[in-house]
Amino acid sequence: MFRRSAIAALAAVAALTFAGCGDDAPAASSGDTSTPSLSGTVNVFAAASLTGSFTQIGKDFEKANPGVKVVFNFAGSSALAQQINQGAPADVFASAAPKNMDQVTDKNTPTVFVQNTLEIAVPAGNPGKITGLQDFADKNKKIALCAVQVPCGAAADKVFKAVGITPQPDSLEQDVKAALTKVSLGEVDAALVYKTDVLASKDKVEGIAFPEADKAINEYPIATLSKAPNPDGAKAFVEYVLSDQGKAVLTAAGFAAP
């Protein structure tokens, strides 16, 4: 009697053991679901006003993804849109205005990630005695503006029309950095640029805020390109820009949340 009970107990244990092995088997054959590591180059075409903040974001992104190299092309948004439409190998486009983003034909759905406003930039010490927006109509002042085809120029044009001022620029620049350079070198008395560029220039220029700036707030969209050579890298970079880490860098640079 005792022997038969012992044999029955051993059979029960064996059955449980085999059942347990059966439960584990599917898990062992389910495969690895971890995200593959990113690699290669991510080509980012970005508005000139994003130079400082995106350079830092690029370094942070590379540190978080050791197998990736971020290469930037900073220029006026209109020029970048044209380059992309002509077949330039871009993975990501970040524009300083929706208008230029709309010009790109092979983009995926863009996301507005920051806003920016204009500010008057003058050389250190304000030698031209610039006091406000009305000085841009003074023919005796040396003035630099962005060309109306680029976002900073379009925003300036919108502001001038809203307040009824006809500016008298001595030069029209193809991006905001070029306009700011004119100021930092003392070649002009003032330029109308983004407040983020004034902040980035530190002691090279001084900024003069003006209330009319609220009439032309620039929204910055970002998108991956549908023909991106590195689609995984492009997606990851955009996600990083939109992350808390990316937002912190952009906020420190003076950009506002959309």
Domains present along the chain, CATH in parentheses = 40-115+220-252 (3.40.190.10), 118-215 (3.40.190.10)
- Rounded CA separation 188/123 (Å): 8
Q: What share of the chain in percent tops pLDDT 70?
A: 86
What would the pLDDT profile of 222-254 be if each residue is shown by its tens digit? Answer: 999 999 999 999 999 999 999 999 999 999 999
Sign, Cα dihedral of 77, 82, 88, 91: positive
Residue 70 confidence (pLDDT) above 70: yes
Segment 164-192 mean pLDDT: 96
What is the pTM assigned to this prediction? 0.82
Distance CA 59, CA 62 (A): 5
195: left (phi over 0), alpha (psi -120 to 50) or beta: alpha
Alpha-carbon gap, residue 93 to 74, rounded angstroms: 10
Segment 73-95 shows an average pLDDT of: 97
Instruction: Give Cα separations from 138 to 97, 123, 142, 209 (angstroms).
Output: 29, 17, 9, 18
* Count of CB atoms situated within 10 Å of the CB of 213: 20
Mean pLDDT, the chain, integer = 88
pLDDT for 239: 98
Q: What phi and psi values does residue 145 have, to the nearest 5 degrees? A: -130, 160
Give the residues across from 218 on adjacent strands. Answer: 116
C-alpha to C-alpha distance for 6 and 3, rounded to whole angstroms: 5
% of the chain exceeding 90 in pLDDT: 84
Task: Characterise 196 by phi-psi region: left (phi > 0), alpha (psi -120 to 50), beta (else).
Answer: alpha
For range 122-149, the mean pLDDT: 97
Q: At what angle do helices 51-64 and 231-242 cross, to 10 degrees?
A: 110
Averaged pLDDT for residues 158-186: 96
According to the model, what pLDDT value does residue 202 have? 82
Is it the case that residue 178 has pLDDT exceeding 80?
A: yes
pLDDT above 60: residue 2: no
Split at pLDDT 50, 70, 90, the class of 256 is very high
Which three-class secondary structure state does DSSP give residue 221? Answer: strand
> Is the pLDDT score of 19 beyond 50?
no
Q: Residue 203: what pLDDT? A: 84
Read off the tokens for 155: 């925003």
Length of the chain: 258
Q: Residue 75's beta-bridge partner residues?
A: 47
Q: Which amino acid is at 96?
A: A
Residues in contact with 155: Cβ distance below 8 Å, sequence separation at least 6, in sequence order? 97, 118, 216, 218
pLDDT digits (tens, 9 = 90+) for 24-36: 433 333 333 233 5
